[in-house]
Amino acid sequence: MQTEEFLSHLTHQRRLSAHTVDAYRSDLRQFAAYCAAVYETTRAGDVSREMVKSWLAMLVEEGRAATSIRRKLSALKAFYHYRQRRGQQQDNPTVRIPTPRVGRRLPATVPAEDLRALFADFPDPETNDNYQLLQDHLLLALLYQAGLRRAELIGLDWNDVDLDKRQLRVRGKGDKERLLPFGSRLAELLERALHLRPAPAVSVFITPSGKRLYPKYVYNTVRKYLTVATREEKKSPHVLRHSFATHLTESGADLNAVKELLGHASLAATQLYTHNNLERLREVYRKSHPGGGE
């Protein structure tokens, strides 16, 4: 199946992230391989609705998660919608195919006290001359105290940092920019990192060899520190972003403000964090009220 034109459209016209485009590419290749093996066809125009349903049924039988199946079907729907709009396809084999239901999962977070202890263990930025340790401190702080996505953190350059106004220019999903304020603690870290950085460094975060950080490097760094700091099962960069949003809402932050800080396109995505807060209140009620256990 010829999918490169579609994937190029996602990259250059819709400006989706490289990670998202790679996921679409993988899903479409899996479907193409299934069609070739089971139906002996490699032409996108030969695909029928029954073939799509058969593929989805196979994924269910394999025990794939509903979220994974939803994403794969979404990729296929987008591909055939693209072909239809360009006159490459008359009938869309993905129409009226139901999307698997997904149970709502609350975002994993790290307790605030665990994170306070984690940051307290780092040396004072003003006296810390170990650049690598300082960078690890800053990396964790920006994920938690500014709620950055991993890709946003990797893409952050020094010219995106305004120390005078104490704000960051961040490029989020769809290459949309937003300005984020930061407080005195982050200001100290950023000022010290700027002072100690290797002279030619453009990126705020670099590897020991001087190159821009890559996703696995960030993940491994976060996991290393959270493994020591908390007993929570999930230990990823996104957990720190979830913790940022959850702790804000628990402290009474306005939901629209949290939405802007996170760079969400709609309030619906941000409202998930109010469910975390509700679960916490339920637990307090169960433990504290005489009738709470009933």
Active-site annotation, residues = 149, 173, 238, 241, 264, 273
Strands laid side by side in the 177-181 sheet: 161-162, 167-171, 177-181
- Cβ count near 200 (within 10 Å): 7
- Pairing type for strands 161-162 and 177-181 reads unpaired
Specify which residues 169 forms β-bridges with: 179
**Residues paired with residue 181 on neighbouring β-strands, in sequence order:** 167
Angstrom CA distances, 83 to 80, 86, 89, stand at 5, 5, 5
- At 188, phi and psi to the nearest 5? -60, -45
CA atoms within 13 Å, Cβ hemisphere of 84: 12
In the block, residue with structure tokens 């120390």: 163
Tracing tokens 């139906």 back to the chain, one arrives at 39
CA distances from 125 to 190, 199, 237, 262 (A): 9, 19, 22, 26
